[in-house]
Amino acid sequence: MNGFSFEILDRDRESSARAGLIRTRRGDIPTPYLVPVATLASVRALGSDDLASLGVTCALANTYHLHLKPGDELIRRLGGLHRFMGFSGPLFTDSGGFQAFSLGFGREHNIAKIGNIFPQELDPTPQKRGSPATDGEGESRMDQGKEQENARRENLTRITEKGISFKSPADGSWHFLDGKKSMQIQSNLGSDIIMAFDECTSPLSDYDYTRRAMYRTHEWAVESIHHHDRSQAIYGIIQGGWFEELRRISTDFVISQPFDGIAIGGSLGNSKQDMHQVLDWTVPRLDDRPRHLLGIGEIDDIFECVARGIDTFDCVSPTRIARRGSLLLSPQSGGSRQNKFRLNIKSARFKEDDLPVDPACSCPTCRRHSRAYLRHLYVSAELSYFRLATLHNLHFMLRLMESIRESIRAGSFMELKNKWLRNG
């Protein structure tokens, strides 16, 4: 009824990486794939014509934000999200449950999902897993390098077994979501792949809270299955934080349900090593349905998680860091784990640099413009910078995913992974 299917085409012999094809009513998605994020029905700084020229297969929009602005009912009356944003390919939508973290404990614990969700990656002071943050701990920096304020901010959520109430940061109004409401909003949006309603927990939430949140998510998953639009494919979301027992319980529950795909969400621990451990606990228990890792998309993470069997990802990082002056760089052009495969275009050393951002890149920006020009646009606050930088970073990630798929088919994925990550 929803035209959804998934086929595994190749498996890597040295890892759990696999190449496949997700088929939807609006087109196919080759996997592994990094899904560009179009939070408000737009990949910022780009138009739908740009997405088409880059070969973007699919995108992900935000249920909560579109419900608030411009309103899912309005989008439905205007023909649905595809027509509204002028995009004909498959669209994912999240459930709205991520805002339980970003407007809740993410604020209270002073942790930014975007920038870095792993407190130990930023704070050299060891933290006890599962313990609440104390004043001054869990300090996070956003990608632009500006410090977030250390003081805790107001928790804008009220969470009960029935659902989540959100206080809008814009006008202070309260909005309630539960499984039924989330499914109704996503149906109005008309996306092709939707997420069951869930509660995304903080890496600083303790075992007891994470356990309660997990069981709430399971109840909401059943509610989501019951109320979801049958023309849409639905993914269940595994929760459980950085607790092996809870991840095992949640994995077994989610795979027992008639979901079309499986997503792994919530807190992935205090470090990237913790995230790898969560996947090592979780993925071996999964069946062959497609696997989506929510909110992850750094280059090293892509390689490590594809090697552990993840099929699709979504993350705003490539486009967000572009707008803040960080342009992606391949290993042959100086990119490495140490510099996060990034070139800081703000640097004065690029003032007279006539090279393209990445001489190995074939994107429209690199074909036509120099580092000196991009730096000039950035320091001059020219709006054209945002489009050119975003075109580069998105093209870069799309081509990287293409090379990963090709390497799995050719039996050389681990060779490619080692080539990219050997310096870190």
314 flagged as catalytic: yes
Is 72 among the residues known to form the active site?
A: no
Rounded CA-CA distance 146/319 in Å is 17
Half-sphere exposure for 199 (CA within 13 Å, toward CB): 31
Distance (Å, whole) CA 369 – CA 373: 6
Give the up-direction half-sphere exposure of residue 245: CA atoms within 13 A in the CB hemisphere: 5
Q: Catalytic: which of 94, 178, 192, 301?
A: 94
Task: Give the N- to C-terminal CA distance of the chain in Å, as an integer.
Answer: 46
Give the residue from 263, 240, 250, 259 showing the smallest Cα distance to 310: 263
Residue for token pair 């001054």: 136
The Cα-based distances of 414 to 24, 200, 225, 290, 397 in angstroms read 30, 32, 38, 21, 18
Q: Minimal CA–CA distance to 361: which of 396, 386, 327?
A: 396
Q: Which of 68, 133, 64 is nearest to 98 (CA)?
A: 64
Cβ atoms of 259 and 225 closer than 8 Å? yes
Q: Answer left, alpha or beta for residue 340, where phi above 0 means left and psi between -120 and 50 means alpha.
A: left
| Residue 372, SS3 per DSSP | helix
* Coil, strand or helix at 313: strand
Tokens linked to 309:
């069997």
Q: Of these residues, 72, 192, 314, 358, which one is catalytic?
A: 314
Residue type, 325: G
Pairing of strands 91-93, 59-61: parallel
Active site residues: 94, 314
